[in-house]
């Protein structure tokens, strides 16, 4: 599902598009997660600027919640954005909004949020190793 999101910073009427994606299972506070998505800025006369797509965590689909990542797509072609973060809060929604720092139109697609499993590091104690070379 490709979605276009816009932002407008008109004086007295600044606004931006937003959406909430329900998570199953929910995110646990202090857990480490990898979020990724694809973005492409559509530059046109009505939306000539570029600005960040903001990613957040929330327990309410009507509230953006806590910012965990932001990335600014550029015009031309799709780019992949990836970030690993420690969740500052528990949440049931991944939220997405267009920052309203300009007249912007971004296309976004392919959102993914996965737990980041730490790679185990086996501790090896060699004690007193003696070797003999001939």
Would you kindly state where each structural domain of the chain is located, as residue ranges? 3-115
For the CA atoms of the chain, what is the radius of gyration? 21
* Residues 6+ positions from 54 with CB-CB distance below 8 Å: 64, 67, 69, 70, 96, 97, 98, 99
Which of 31-35, 73-77, 102-106, 116-120 is predicted least confidently?
Answer: 116-120
Query: Does residue 4 or residue 16 have the better pLDDT?
Result: 16
- The CATH superfamily holding the domain 3-115 is Galactose-binding domain-like (2.60.120.260)
Mean pLDDT of the 56-78 span? 95
Nearest to 5 by CA among 118, 129, 102, 112: 102
Amino acid 11: pLDDT: 54
């Amino acid at each position: 599902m490709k979605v276009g999101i816009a932002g407008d910073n008109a004086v007295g009427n600044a606004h931006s598009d937003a959406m909430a994606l329900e998570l199953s299972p929910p995110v646990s506070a202090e857990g480490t997660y990898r979020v990724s998505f694809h973005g492409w800025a559509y530059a046109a006369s009505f939306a000539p600027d570029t600005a960040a797509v903001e990613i957040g965590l929330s327990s309410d689909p009507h509230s953006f919640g806590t910012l965990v990542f932001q990335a600014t797509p550029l015009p031309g072609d799709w780019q992949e954005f990836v970030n690993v973060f420690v969740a500052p809060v528990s949440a049931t929604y991944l939220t997405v909004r267009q920052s309203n720092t300009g007249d912007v139109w971004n296309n976004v697609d392919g959102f993914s949020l996965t737990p980041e499993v730490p790679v185990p590091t086996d501790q090896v104690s060699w004690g007193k190793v003696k070797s003999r070379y001939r």
